[in-house]
Amino acid sequence: MARGERGLASFLLLGFFSFVISKNFHLGLMMLRGKRNWASYELQASAISIAVENARTDGYFLNHTFTVTTCFEENMSQTAGETVRLITEEKIDLLLGHPSSKRNLGPAYVTPYYNLPHISWEANDPTFSKKDIFKTFIRLSATFNKVGLATVALFSEFKWNVTGLLIQASYDVCLHAMNGFLGKVDENNITVTSYQRFSEIPTVSEIDAYLNIIKKTSRIVFICAEDDNFRNIMIRAHRLGMTSGDYVFIDPNFLSNDDHYRYSTWFKNDSDDVISREAYRHVIHLTAARWFDDESERRHMELLRTIPKRMTEIPWNDSIALNEGLFPSRSAATLHDSMYLAILWWEHCFKNGLDHRNGTELFKFTHKLSYNGTSGKVYFDGNGDKQPAFWVEDLKNTSDETRLVGIIETYKDSKLFTLWENNLWLTSDGLAPPSTPVYHTRDIIISLSAVVVFLIAVIISGFYIRKKKYDMQILKMTWKIDYIDISMKKSKRGIGSQLSRSAFSLNDHCSSTGTVNLNFTRTAEYNGQIVALKTSPLSAVQLTMTDLVELKGMRDFLHPNVNPFVGACIDPPNICCLFLYGSKGSLQDVLENDDIKLEWTFKVAILKDIAMGMKYIHSSVLKSHGRLKSSNCIIDNRWTVKITDYGVSAFQANLKLPHVTKMEDFKDLLWTCPEILRSDDVFPRNGTRAGDVYSYGIIMHETFYRCDIIKSIQNGQSCKPDINKFEDLKPQMLKLMTMCWDDDWRQRPDFSSILTFIRENNTEASVSIIDSMINMLEKYANNLEDLVEERTVALNEEKDKTDKLLYRMLPRLVAEKLKRGEFIIPEAFEAVTIFFSDIVGFTTIASKISPLDVVDFLNEIYTLFDAIISTYDVYKVETIGDAYMVVSGLPERNGNAHSGEIGDMSLEILRRLENFKLRAIPEQRVMVRIGLHTGPVCAGVVGQTMPRYCLFGDTVNTASRMESNGQGGKIHITETTKNALLGLGGYEIAERGLVPIKGKGEMSTFWLMKKTERFPPLPSTSIQVPEKPRKSLQHSYFKTGASEEWTEISY
């Protein structure tokens, strides 16, 4: 989209006539246009002109002017880039906007980087309260984190201390309002007796259930929902008898009012309007105050009446509001006050000789600041936010208009609430209802008696059942084994065999080398079965009722993917438990054995088996495993994976993480989830279900990549393996893997979801490993492997071609991230060196030969340049006509070497051009002008359909100026590049002197002459370019004006 199409325009607002203009300030304004809503340009922009006039009437800004540059960017992902352009190219002094919280997020991250003052008049998202991040950002709108303070003031006024919450969790506004209120309840001794949440649109039965729960414990209901949901809830409250005056419903959503400040969400023009209107008589609504008294109301309404006409005047030139009779935006008053604040800041800086572009100083300037706004006094807190006032309104009047019953002023030290109306309540005595339900003494006695009888019956029954169950378990103990019945055997490799005693590498790369010095599982024979013997480190165990229930349940386990629990011996000192032995060893053994090749079908089958076994364990009496890892997944003769070493937590030694000192124990913690590692308590009994899912994610990584992924585990932190350095795999399975090891345990899926995901995204999951092996053998028998190999080679060739083409269009690092579907975050580079070159006399040369020869000529010289730059650590950004642009130092930083890489490359280009001959005009000597500059840039990918890798910053333009002001056959460099090259050493540089540079004034520049070391000998012939069919070419990039100013460089 061209800049004009983005809605960029510059206007010069002149003040009253004065013989002396002391200062011109440059304002950047970001908002929407053409939307005809509260954030639209056409409904409020002229409030800026009115603010200027009011400020001058008050004696400010008398001798100053300022320029406004506006931006109407709608795309939320582009506002950050537009902010960079406004700061670096337009040189704005202060950014005003964006009123939309979502579109303001990008600019709010950019302005602190440049320390630029930033004011928004309507961005009310609580995220912007984090001034350690948004340290130059000031807000003049009412914010949701202040709603909590207003609500608490309401509770204090009417002596309420109990409430119930009913919140639509899917509506961000409600979550912000609720969090603001909950942050104040403790310090004000308010008890939340019920907290009900719902998403989207609740059913009638769900609403009734929520209200019935709340009405039992509280009469004050803090309720927040979208307009339609709020109306439905109030209608149901009326039908449940909660609108007779005994209950109060508080609505904190101050965005519910329309542009005319009317609270009319009850009205839908349907058959329920009568009931809805009656129910809303018991609602107290909090909304941002627009004025405070008759005088401030007059000024406020006068501003709104003036805006449409003033929009038709210079410089706004917009008659939409006037022609269509549109009411001005409700945010026009705060826009006026925001501009007034900017003028106060500029006046303060001018009078005191301060830097008016210092955003952190503006933040300090607003600390406890107050001034007269268009609708009353404006106060600021110590966090760069306006201290708002809130109207308290209801619908108890006879008309359908809301009634203002009071005001809450959050900036006061005491008595925040001022009551304007007396007839506020519909109770029988006219007083505010109590915050808790009132019961009659008889009802209380009956209810308490019933509860006491019920509790006694439950307690007695519970004790009886528990004792009976305990006796039965103690008497049976079918799992108990006498140690003398166990026949010891020689150690065999099996379960847990990869817990290496040797030191392991902490490097972050993978190794396919098998682990040595393995632990071997102790095996024995019991009742004719080979069993794995797990010896407890404890000298004695004391089994609880829970232990007995678990052991019995384990003994009864019957699932193809769960290794049978044979039994346990609890006779000191021979305390051990027995599991059936896995003949093929553990999954870890198989993964570490390079001789065993696992195809994708086998890997999917292995993971499916583990998930099925874990699903069974999670639904059992154990609830979770707690020690899931690849060494606890054994494989039988049919290559079926079985889960082992589950339960029997009483046989384990519970250790806190700080007490773990052995390297083997640290390695064993790789599969442990972060929430357990960070906990100061001992590890939970049998772990957690979410922890098992985390362990499963680690096993997925082991299975896919078959490498040592141990990095380090220390100080309670978990290091997950890097998935960016390995071969590609199915994106769906990669997504599942990262979901399983998510640091937030609430975001991890359960094993039922994991199984469904595997079956839906892998057709192989429906086939067993044995069937897969048979099918594979049939394929080999029919010689189909040759066909598979041919197609694989062809596919890889096409993939390589595609990758090569992609890497020519984008940097490899950026391209790989885009292929994985990752978002490319714009990145600032502190120092890079940019190269620009231009062919001297290109127009003359082009006039002597045909257009097709011009194409061949450029192809010859660019082939030469491409061959040269391939030997240096540089990135070719673009070729535009006869211009060539290269940068070093991005996208991968190379320390201080970037200036040397570009310098050496430039010298080699000049050296190679000395023997370069054109095939069309052999006698024509080809010379280039080269310009270099070193400095910071901002780079990122712009667009989605055809992404471009773009560079932004003044460094680009300065490098272009060096080239356009240079001389043929020479390398023109700035002082910054000179210092960088001298820092590296080995270069001969000559001073050129002061040179007038457009947009920069006079600059001290230099010539890069040569390297002090010798170059390798020149090749005897020029680059030979093979003949290609001639095609017409179209260039979509250009340089504007005779000065060849580069307006944007993108790739």
**C-alpha span between 588 and 641 (Å, rounded):** 11
| Cα–Cα distance measured from residue 977 to residue 966, given in angstroms and rounded to the nearest whole number | 15
pLDDT in tens, 330-340: 889 999 999 99
Distance CA 248, CA 263 (A): 17
Higher pLDDT, 130 or 1032: 130
- Structure token digits, residue 279: 């129910």
* CATH of region 824-1050, choose from 3.40.630.10, 3.30.70.1230, 3.30.70.260, 1.10.10.60: 3.30.70.1230
Range among 15-19, 475-479, 488-492, 705-709 rated most confident: 475-479
Residue 493 confidence (pLDDT): 47
Interhelix angle 898-913/975-984, rounded to 10 degrees, is 100
3-state secondary structure of 535: strand
Terminus-to-terminus CA distance in the chain, angstroms?
Answer: 15
Q: How far is Cα 430 from Cα 914, in angstroms, rounded to an integer? A: 100
pLDDT digits (tens, 9 = 90+) for 65-82: 888 999 988 888 899 999
416-444 mean pLDDT:
77
What is the per-residue pLDDT across 15-52, written as a single tens digit (0 to 9) for each? 333 344 578 889 999 999 888 888 889 999 999 999 99
Confidence of residue 784 (pLDDT cuts 50, 70, 90): low
Highest mean pLDDT among 43-47, 140-144, 427-431, 997-1001 belongs to 43-47
Rounded Cα–Cα distance for residues 702 and 526 (Å): 33
User: Is the pLDDT higher at 503 or at 609?
Assistant: 609
Tell me how crowded residue 238 is: count the other CB atoms within 10 A of its CB.
19
Residues 245 and 424 sit within 8 Å (Cβ to Cβ): no
Q: Which long-range contacts (CB under 8 A, 24 or more apart) does 359-362 make?
A: 359/111, 359/112, 359/114, 359/115, 359/116, 359/117, 359/118, 359/135, 359/136, 359/137, 360/115, 360/135, 360/136, 362/94, 362/117, 362/136, 362/138
Handedness of CA 495, 498, 499, 502 (dihedral sign): positive
| CB-CB contact of 701 with 604 (8 Å) | no
> Lowest-confidence range among 107-116, 435-444, 538-547, 1006-1015?
435-444
Bridge partners, 372 (sequence order): 377
- Indicate if the pLDDT at residue 712 is higher than 60: no
Which conformational region is residue 1050 in: left (phi greater than 0), alpha (psi within -120 to 50 degrees), or beta? beta
Q: How far apart are CA 207 and CA 201, in angstroms?
A: 10
What is the CATH topology of the domain spanning 483-503+512-769? Transferase(Phosphotransferase); domain 1 (1.10.510)
pLDDT, residue 767, reads 57
Portion of the chain with pLDDT greater than 90, in percent = 28
Lowest-confidence region among 151-165, 589-603, 783-797: 783-797
Q: Give buried/exposed letters for 798-831 (b at 16+ CB in 10 A, else e).
A: eeeeeeeeeeeebbeebbbbbeeeeebebeebeb
Q: Is 665 exposed, middle or buried (0-12, 13-18, 19+ CB in 10 A)?
A: middle
- Which amino acid is present at 415? K
Q: What is the pLDDT of residues 962-989, one digit of tens each?
A: 998 999 889 999 999 999 999 888 899 9
CA distance 386 to 128: 12
* Residue 25: alpha-carbon gap to chain centroid: 35
Burial annotation 344-362 (CB, 10 A radius, 16+ → b, else e):
bbbbebbeeeeebbbbebb
Number of Cβ atoms within 10 Å of the Cβ of 372: 14
Mean pLDDT on 997-1017: 80
Encode pLDDT of 393-409 as tens digits: 888 877 778 888 889 88
Specify whether the CB–CB gap between 503 and 664 falls below 8 A. Answer: no
Q: Is the dihedral of CA 84, 85, 91, 93 positive or negative?
A: negative
Q: Strand ranges (DSSP E) for 181-315?
A: 191-198, 220-224, 248-251, 283-288
| Averaged pLDDT for residues 863-884 | 87
Class of domain 144-290+392-419: alpha beta
Long-range contact list for 590-599, CB < 8 A, 24+ apart?
A: 590/635, 591/630, 591/702, 591/703, 591/706, 592/498, 592/514, 592/515, 592/706, 593/514, 594/512, 594/513, 594/514, 598/703, 598/706, 599/776
3.40.50.2300, 3.40.190.10, 3.20.20.70, 3.10.20.810: which CATH number matches 4-141+294-329+331-385? 3.40.50.2300
* pLDDT tens track for 821-849: 777 778 889 999 999 999 988 888 888 88
Percentage of the chain lying above the pLDDT 70 cut: 82
SS percent in the chain: helix, strand, coil, step 5: 40, 20, 40
pLDDT for 768: 62
C-alpha–C-alpha distance, residues 251 and 238, integer Å:
16
> Given this model, what pLDDT does residue 114 score?
96
Q: What is the pLDDT of residue 7?
A: 39
**Sign of the torsion angle spanned by Cα atoms 283, 287, 290, 294:** positive
Alpha helices by DSSP H, listed for 18-115, are 47-57, 79-88, 101-114
Q: Each residue of 745-770: pLDDT tens digit?
A: 889 999 999 999 988 887 665 656 66
User: The tokens 């009931």 sit on which residue?
Assistant: 275
Query: Does the pLDDT at position 1027 exceed 50?
Result: no
Partners of 884 in beta bridges: 837, 879
Residue 949 in this model has a pLDDT that exceeds 90:
no
Under 8 Å between Cβ of 693 and 749: yes
* Per-residue pLDDT at 1042: 33
Rounded CA-CA distance 1037/1046 in Å is 10
Q: What radius of gyration do the chain's Cα atoms show? A: 38
- The per-residue pLDDT for 890 is 86
CA distance 33 to 320: 11
Using one digit for the tens of pLDDT, what is the confidence trace for 901-935?
Answer: 999 999 999 998 888 887 777 787 888 999 999 99
Q: Under the phi-then-psi rule, with left for phi > 0, alpha for psi from -120 to 50, and beta for the rest, what region is 559?
A: beta
895-907: per-residue pLDDT in tens? Answer: 889 999 999 999 9
Structure tokens at 340: 């007034």
Counting every residue written for the chain, the total comes to 1051
Closest listed residue to residue 391, CA positions, set 303, 259, 263, 247: 263
- Please write down the HEC assignment for all residues of 95-118: EECCCCHHHHHHHHHHHHHHCCCE
pLDDT at 354: 93
- pLDDT above 60: residue 375: yes
747: DSSP letter: G
Structure tokens at 173: 């506004």
* Per-residue pLDDT at 1022 exceeds 60: no
Q: Check residue 937 and report its DSSP letter.
A: E
Closest to 571 in 3D by CA, of 524, 528, 523, 536: 536
d(CA 523, CA 520): 9
Q: How far apart are CA 508 and CA 721, in angstroms?
A: 8
Q: What's the maximum distance between 2 C-alpha atoms anywhere in the chain? A: 116
What pLDDT score was predicted for residue 833? 94
pLDDT digits (tens, 9 = 90+) for 561-608: 999 999 999 888 888 889 998 878 888 888 888 878 788 888 888 999
DSSP designation for 328: P
**In contact, 667 and 504? CB cutoff 8 Å:** yes
The DSSP secondary-structure symbol of 874 reads: -
Q: What is the DSSP string of 422-483?
A: S----STTSSPPPSS----HHHHHHHHHHHHHHHHHHHHHHHHHHHHHHHHHHHH-TTB--G
Convert the pLDDT of each residue in 494-541 to its tens digit.
444 443 333 233 233 333 333 333 445 788 999 888 898 888 888 788
For residue 497, what is the DSSP state?
T
Compute the average pLDDT of residues 879-888: 87
Average pLDDT, the chain: 81
Give how far Cα 579 sits from Cα of 467, 522, 939, Å: 30, 11, 58
Question: What mean pLDDT do residues 206-223 have?
Answer: 92
